[in-house]
Structure 1
Amino acid sequence: MGIEYRHFLVVDDARWKPQADTVSRVEQVLRAWSLGDRPDKVIDLVRGEQLSTETSTTSAPGRGIAVIYGGVDGAAVEKLAGPSYYPDLNAADRYIMSTTLIVGDDYRLHTTADSSIYFEVVEPPLDSKGRQLDPIDGEYSSALYADTFAGTDVSSPPVVVAHVAEFAQKNIGWAKCNGFWRVALVIDFGKDIPGFARGIHCLPAIQFVHDLSEAFRGPVLQIGEFD
């Protein structure tokens, strides 16, 4: 047991939609930063089925897929995240447990495992006839997001309010947040908590964030999460 940390990089733009090359563009960034070469597995989030890692990363992601890359050790971790939370930990002993790209047309409500931020849906999305949509039942279970709403045939996205606990105000690097997304890169540091988690939850590798924003073709917002 013990505290673990995950870092979310999401496109905070309600109008953003994935393109056929979104996954391959992100993979190029991961490869350049030694964070992943080929995914370990790809999961269709609607059907809960494992897909071919060859075809699913070179085509449009549809309503939603999770592209899961394995762990990374050593200097690449420190290059991305800076020194460890634990001062006696050497760069060679650093690790990332996994990196997951979640992308698709559906809207996914952000979740946090601790009590620092709570995202409240105040208005669900409306379909093209102005009717409120309910969350999708029976989708593949993932701890990386909360409810999912259909992202096709909608006239407006959900309206979500972020409630930030007073003790966590010092950790957020944004003034406002949609609270939902269609794409997120989730870096799971596990128990190798990066030192920046003490302050604002933003990766010190500014160039990586820029490269990812270019790959997404959208603005990147960062959210840290303790578990």
Structure 2
Amino acid sequence: MTGAVPSRHHEIVDDLRHQITSGSIKPGERLPSEAGLAARYRVSTVTLRRALAVLQGEGLVEKIHGKGNYVRRPRRKVMYVGGWGTLDPWTAAEPKLRITVRHTTVPASVHLTTLLKLPTGSRLVEYTCLSLEQGTPHGLARIYIPRDLAPAGVLDDDSAYREAATRFAVLGSSPATIRETVCARSPTPDEASALRIGPTTAVLAITRIATDSTGRVTEAALLAFPGDRIDAVFTAHHVLDERLTHG
């Protein structure tokens, strides 16, 4: 019994992918026209476009309307440091990376009241932080603090809190605990718009909850990063049981 014969568009995908990953076709280089590629591979333009769609979905090819298909330049990644609740300081300080920050006061939605354990409609300070490199978004953070806990600096745009916001860091007083829930999912419409990605592009979503020593939730942050533009590192620290070490 013989295996299934690969379809022509898969053969085209494999060939073009090899040329791109081996460097035969350079990042930023324009591919031949779709009609030209279809003629080269002796397939219809419909089959050729199916192959290009696969490469576009893999992030290897980018179609620019009115110009053609280009080999996508590798995206520089940012790093999120789990447990500290912040972008890596070296990453955040990269000169090419620009962070826009704005804040407003909003009523708590049902989802936020659940996260912050507050009554519906409670007043929150919302910080929206967007990181960009040469106009390309790298990450989006929406950070929420109960209005009565918001430090004066957050409301007055104090430089110290603005600097913390540029690292997507916890803005309030030092928390006793930080809990982060991480998942990969499709973006919400708002995230897709802000990050300028398609609805099928996976995002790494982090929900970060900061709690003080009394157990009160002092801050909730909703972070979203395009999957190809983020590395996240989480470090586990093992605590030795003193009864075992001194037994």
Query: Shorter-chain TM-score category?
Result: under 0.3
TM-score, with length taken from structure 2: 0.25
TM-score, with length taken from structure 1: 0.27
Larger fraction in helix: 2
